[in-house]
Amino acid sequence: MVKWIVNRFLKRPQFGSIPVYRLDCTPTLHSTSPDSVAPWDRHILAPACRILYEHMVKFGNWTDQFVSDSERFRTLLDYCPSSDCPKPCDFKPVLPQEELASPLVCTACDNRMFVRLADFEAHRRSRSHQKRISKLRRREQEQSVSTDCT
The pTM score is 0.51
> Based on the structure, what is the number of domains in the chain?
2
Mean pLDDT for the stretch of residues 131-140: 93
Confidence at 125, pLDDT banded by 50, 70, 90: very high
**Closest by alpha carbon to 103, among 93, 117, 83?**
117
pLDDT digits (tens, 9 = 90+) for 74-105: 888 888 888 888 888 776 665 555 556 677 88
Last residue of a domain, one of 53, 84, 115: 84
**How far from 91 is each of 14, 99, 114, CA to CA, in Å?**
11, 16, 17
| Residue 126: pLDDT over 90 | yes
- Cα–Cα distance measured from residue 129 to residue 108, given in angstroms and rounded to the nearest whole number: 8
| Statement to judge: residues 62 and 105 lie in one domain | no
| Statement to judge: residues 76 and 103 lie in one domain | no
pLDDT of amino acid 137: 92
| Residue 25: pLDDT over 70 | yes
Q: Is residue 44 part of a domain?
A: yes
| Statement to judge: residues 75 and 104 lie in one domain | no
| Statement to judge: residues 78 and 115 lie in one domain | no
Q: Is residue 45 part of a domain?
A: yes
pLDDT of amino acid 128: 93
| Statement to judge: residues 28 and 76 lie in one domain | yes
Q: Is residue 127 part of a domain?
A: yes
Q: Is residue 64 part of a domain?
A: yes
| Statement to judge: residues 62 and 33 lie in one domain | yes
Residue count (the chain): 150
User: Three-class SS of residue 150?
Assistant: coil
Last residue of a domain, one of 56, 84, 112: 84
What is the overall mean pLDDT for the chain?
79
DSSP summary character for residue 82 = G
Confidence at 131, pLDDT banded by 50, 70, 90: very high
Mean pLDDT for the stretch of residues 26-45: 76
| Statement to judge: residues 113 and 67 lie in one domain | no
Structural domain for 76, as ranges:
21-84
- Cα–Cα distance measured from residue 115 to residue 102, given in angstroms and rounded to the nearest whole number: 8
